[in-house]
Amino acid sequence: MALTRTQVGIIGSGPAGLLLSHLLHREGIESVILERRSRSYVEGRIRAGVLEQGTADLLREVGVAERMEREGLPHAGINLAFSERLERIDMAAHTGGKTVLIYGQTKVTRDLIRARLDAGAPLLFETPVVGIEGYLDAKPRLIYEQNGQRHELRCDFVAGCDGYHGIARRSVDPARLHTFEKTYPFGWLGLLADVPPAAEELIYVNHARGFALCSMRSPTRSRYYIQCDADDDVARWTDEAFWDELRRRLPPRVAEAVVTGPRLEMSIAPLRSFVAEPMRFGRLFLAGDAAHIVPPTGAKGLNLAASDVHYLARALAAHYREGRTDLLDRYSETALRRVWKAIRFSWWFTSVLHKFTDDPIDHRLQIAELDYITGSNAGRTMVAENYVGLPLEPFD
């Protein structure tokens, strides 16, 4: 049976849409999620791996943290490798004890989907939204397809949580939208394998041949990345070529500790900084990748999706509970302040770690900057407090 009416119509079942639906549910607000892909497609996408403390806390707040508490790996530090050096940034020591949690986005998504379906709340797969109407007046409607038929979902508000390629941002009159964009002339080639990680904590590597990252999903599953050309093709890379290139970029001690194995997955991610302003158009609100993209270097994409919907859920709750509109009015500017700081950190971290040119002066300048940052208490604190996540603003 097609659904025809709800309070908040949510487009997209990525982390933004799913978490928003849970936060609203806790406030007694009804929502319907419409997702264009199948459940297995959404649950299988390999993406982010690092949860800020605030994101983990939000998952605890909505009661979907059981597996995360069991399987998530708390990390109190990260390592920066450059010029044959390995410098550990003790994040906890520089932030009054804050840490991050290594827990894959795939698991976050599965946990949120299971909890939503267990609660009997509406989450529809293979139901692409093909039109958003009436959001500038009081009566928004989502037009969606299901089994080849068109349906209309009437709602009080629409949350565009439909990612960078979604329909929500594209439905807005371009004259009302300001966009800011920077594309980088390289991508990340990532490989996932069931082998133990080379080190206990993440290692971000600046090397004359290009960036590399040693990450993980669990004590038995590793995720590695190497910088590649923007137009590179995964089909060109054998597992062996990947492991060889990775080890060339790592400090010798770490390279020796790398355990190789067959890929479970290999893909190329483009790098981009993008912001669309504002994040609200009448009764349509954008959240997560629908409004902004960061290069993955700072591990911020998923975490920004979480902070956006934290603010949005509070604004909607104040509306339904007390008839207030002030928080809805302040949603965009409040979310964007945090977004821009994450855009800045991700851009900076990208620019100091990647190879941009063949000119040796650029590499020397990066090494001097990394030497300065790791040699200064202020520098270490800047990296640490951004990496664990900047605080949320009071919003009530």
**Positions marked active-site:** 75, 204, 296, 300, 387
Q: Which does 338 bind (CB under 5 to 8 A by kind): ligand PHB, ligand RFL, none?
A: none
Q: Which does 42 bind (CB under 5 to 8 A by kind): ligand PHB, ligand RFL, none?
A: ligand RFL
- Is residue 13 a contact point for ligand RFL (CB under 6 A)? yes
| Residue range at the interface with ligand PHB (CB under 6 A); choices 246-254, 260-268, 293-301, 314-322 | 293-301
Q: Extract the tokens encoding 313.
A: 């859920």
Burial class (CB within 10 angstroms; exposed 0-12, middle 13-18, buried 19+) of 364: exposed
Rounded distance, CA 22 to CA 343, Å? 26
Nearer to ligand RFL by C-beta: 168 or 373?
168
| Residue range at the interface with ligand PHB (CB under 6 A); choices 13-21, 42-50, 55-63, 179-187 | 42-50
Rounded distance, CA 62 to CA 24, Å? 10
Nearer to ligand PHB by C-beta: 58 or 100?
100
| Residue range at the interface with ligand RFL (CB under 6 A); choices 29-37, 204-212, 276-284, 382-390 | 29-37
| Residue range at the interface with ligand PHB (CB under 6 A); choices 29-37, 295-303, 325-333, 355-363 | 295-303
Rounded distance, CA 238 to CA 245, Å? 11
Rounded distance, CA 111 to CA 64, Å? 6
Among 58, 89, 153, 299, binds ligand PHB (CB under 6 A): 299
Report the site for ligand PHB in 194-253 (rule: CB under 6 A). 202, 215, 223
- Is residue 301 a contact point for ligand RFL (CB under 6 A)? yes
- Is residue 221 a contact point for ligand RFL (CB under 6 A)? no
Nearer to ligand PHB by C-beta: 48 or 284?
48
Nearer to ligand RFL by C-beta: 247 or 292?
292
Q: Calculate the CA dihedral of residues 242, 248, 249, 253 and round it to 10 degrees.
A: 120
Nearer to ligand RFL by C-beta: 89 or 167?
167
Interacting residues of 117 by C-beta distance below 8 A, sequence separation 6+: 123
Relative to beta strand 31-34, strand 50-51 is: unpaired
Q: Extract the tokens encoding 348.
A: 């900076």
- Residue 303's nearest CA partner among 227, 391, 221 is 391
- Is residue 297 a contact point for ligand PHB (CB under 6 A)? yes
Which alpha helices (DSSP H) does 72-207 contain, by range?
91-94, 105-118
Nearer to ligand RFL by C-beta: 16 or 216?
16
Among 3, 24, 29, 48, binds ligand RFL (CB under 6 A): 48
- Is residue 110 a contact point for ligand PHB (CB under 6 A)? no
Q: Which does 223 bind (CB under 5 to 8 A by kind): ligand PHB, ligand RFL, none?
A: ligand PHB
Rounded distance, CA 270 to CA 251, Å? 25
* Rounded to 5°, angle at Cα 314 from 103 and 152: 90
* Alpha-carbon distances of 70 from 55, 101, 200, rounded to whole Å: 16, 11, 18
The residues of the shown chain that bind ligand PHB, judged by CB under 6 A, are 48-50, 202, 215, 223, 296-297, 299
